Every structure is written in structure tokens, then in C-alpha cells.
Amino acid sequence: MKIAVMGGAGYIGSHTIIELYKAGHSVVVVDNLVNSSDESLRRVAELVGSPIPFVKADVRDAAAMDKIFSENKFDACIHFAGLKAVGESVAKPLEYYENNMNATFVLLHAMRNHGCKNLIFSSSATVYGNPAQIPITEACPKGQCTNPYGQTKSMLEEVLRDVQKADPEWNIVLLRYFNPIGAHPSGRIGEDPNGIPNNLMPYITQTAVGLRKELGVFGNDYDTPDGTGVRDYIHVCDLASGHVSALKAIERKCGLAIYNLGTGHGYSVLDVVKAFEKVNNVKIPYSIKPRRAGDIATCYCNPQKAFDELGWKAQYGIEEMCRDAWNWQKNNPKGYKG
């Protein structure tokens, strides 16, 4: 299939392009590089042994989208493009709503105008809010998101549901990612956050490499086995292959389909620190800090539906996630900028 990849220069997009190539698909990547660098695409090209067609454009730019969809006949689109920093979204709600909502509206118009009605959308476990049930299945009700970033995902899911309902020619897959970490085993591409990392794994790797003094563990008084937050970490390469599997749903004309992409295992913050230390033989100094606003105690999924319907299952365990995250960081201490 020929796939339009919106936001494909970013962390998850760059890994997904590799899996798409491995499965024999071709891509055109669109990204405005607001949170990424085209160096990721140069390295992806090196890994797949072929140049990656790339258009630097903002998905909100209707004329640019019209041109891209006129010049290419796409079988489907994968839409990663969006701003994703939870804390920043609280400080800059307008920018987040404006970017994430409008990019999707403009994209949907361009797709409809050019007869491409197959879409895979990057959603998030955040739409479950504080989940009513653990492990979380797709049948669990959505919850209250505590930040504008999460609201954009939840609202866009509803927009996409309505678009598909109004026109059954659309096939739309909502992929609810749990906590992607790790990097391509080559160590050539990985997560390259701007400034101080918000998420656990890049904070750990930057501590290991000496860029940060110590990890702050946000709370040890949750109702979890060791008191620290429990999450469903998933290797980014497994997440990437989930998109290739989701194309099967599109091919089967799924209408609207929703899948959790996680491993189904919950690890605490201290479990991750210990696994990282053990597999990489490095020490991660840490201290306990107050809880972070908006965090929940436990979040992990039941990924059975993706297995039953798409044949997809995560292959990597927590140790491989820690190994590959460190391999990326130590080979690229300053990310793509180095």
C-alpha cells in the first residue's frame, strides 16, 4: 500500500516507517518538524536502504495538503502529527487545541476531497482517564482527561467516530497507545525530547548519561505494590508493527475500529529503574518527590482484541525496552542534535 504518514519524522512515526518498509509498503512523510528533525528520516533511509519521500509542511496548511493528495494516490493515511507534552498543554491550551484539532480537520478534508478514506489515528490510553477497570479493555468507558492534550485525543476520537458514521466508506482505526519507550535496536533512531524530559524513560536515560543529576520519582504512596505508579510500557518497535497490523483492519473494511496497543503488563517506576540498572549495568540515582498533578496510580491494558482481530502481540519485554533505550541514548547523548 502507499501510505501518507503525517508527523512521520517524530519518535513513533520514524519507527513505524521502518516497519512499513519491512512489510513492503511505500510512504510519503509529511511533517513541519516542530518537534522533530529530518535527521531521523535520513537515518531511517539508511536503515531501510532507500530514500524516504518527505514533504516539509504543516498539516494545517490546506493548500499544501491538497497538493500532496493531488500528487499521490494514497491507499491510507497514518496520522501521528500533533503536539504531545501534557504539562505544556496545560500552560498552552489554545496552541494544543488549535494544532491538534485543526491539523486533523484539514487532513480529513483533504482525504475526503481526494477519495482517500482510510485512516489510522494515534490515540492514547489517556482517553480512559482514571480507568474504571484494570486491565483496560476497549469496552471500558472513556474517562475524564485532566489536561488539554488528552482532551484533544478524546475529542478527535469522537470527531472521527462521527465522520465514519456519516459516511460508511471511511475506515478508521483508533490506536490507543499505552506507554511507548525504547528505540530501534540499531541505536540509530530513538526518542529525542526537547529540553527537560517529561516522561520516565528519557529522564532515566538522560540521568544515566549524565545530563540529569537524579531521577525524581513522583510519589511512593500510591495504592500499588511498591507505592509508585504502574504503567504498561511498550517497546516502540512493537507499537510500530501494530500500525502495519492495523492496515489489515482497513483492508477488511473495518468501519470504525479501536485497539489498545500495550503489552498487558504493569511495571512500577521502581521496577523500571531496577530493570534498567540490571540490564545495562548502570546506576540511576533517584529520590522520592511529591506526586505529579494529574497522574493516576495504575494503567495497563488487556491487548487481547488486537491479537484476536489483527494477530498483533508485543514481542519485546521490559529488559529489551531498557536495553534499546540506553543503546540509543549512549550512542546519541544529545539526540539528533549531536
336 is catalytic: no
**Rounded Cα–Cα distance for residues 94 and 149 (Å):** 10
3-state secondary structure of 261: strand
Q: Which of 34, 48, 211, 282 binds ligand NAD (CB under 6 A)?
A: 34
Burial of 283 (0-12, 13-18, 19+ CB in 10 A): exposed
Which of the listed partners (ligand NAD, ligand WQD, none) does 107 bind, with a CB threshold of 5 to 8 Å by partner kind?
none
- Helices 200-208 + 269-280 axis angle, to 10: 40
Question: Nearest CA to 15 among 174, 192, 183?
Answer: 183
124 contacts ligand WQD (rule: CB under 6 A): yes
CB under 6 A: which stretch of 77-85, 111-119, 255-263, 278-286 binds ligand NAD? 77-85
- Distance, CA of 5 to CA of 120 (rounded, Å): 10
Within 8 A by CB and 6+ apart from 228, the residues are 217, 219, 220, 222, 268, 269, 270
Cα separation, 3 vs 240, in Å, equals: 14
Single-letter amino acid code for the residue at 213: K
Give me the catalytic one of 11, 21, 96, 149: 149
Find residue 217's DSSP bridge partners.
Answer: 288
C-beta separation of 111 from 78 below 8 A: no
Shortest Å, Cβ 281 to ligand NAD = 27
Among 102, 130, 198, 304, indicate the residue that binds ligand WQD (CB under 6 A): 198
Q: Which is nearer to ligand NAD, 167 or 192 (CB)?
A: 192
The answer to the question of residue 200 lying near ligand WQD (CB under 6 A) is: yes
Name which of 9 and 76 has its Cβ closer to ligand NAD: 9
Nearer to ligand NAD, 54 or 170 (CB): 54
Q: What part of residues 45-74 is at the interface with ligand NAD (CB under 6 A)?
A: 58-60
Minimum separation from the CB atom of position 334 to ligand NAD (A) = 16
Question: Applying CB under 6 A, which residues contact ligand NAD?
Answer: 7, 9-13, 31-36, 58-60, 80-84, 99, 103, 122, 124, 177, 180
**Which residues form the catalytic set?**
149
Residues near ligand WQD, by CB under 6 A: 84, 86, 124, 126, 150, 179, 198-200, 203, 215-218, 229, 231, 269, 292, 295
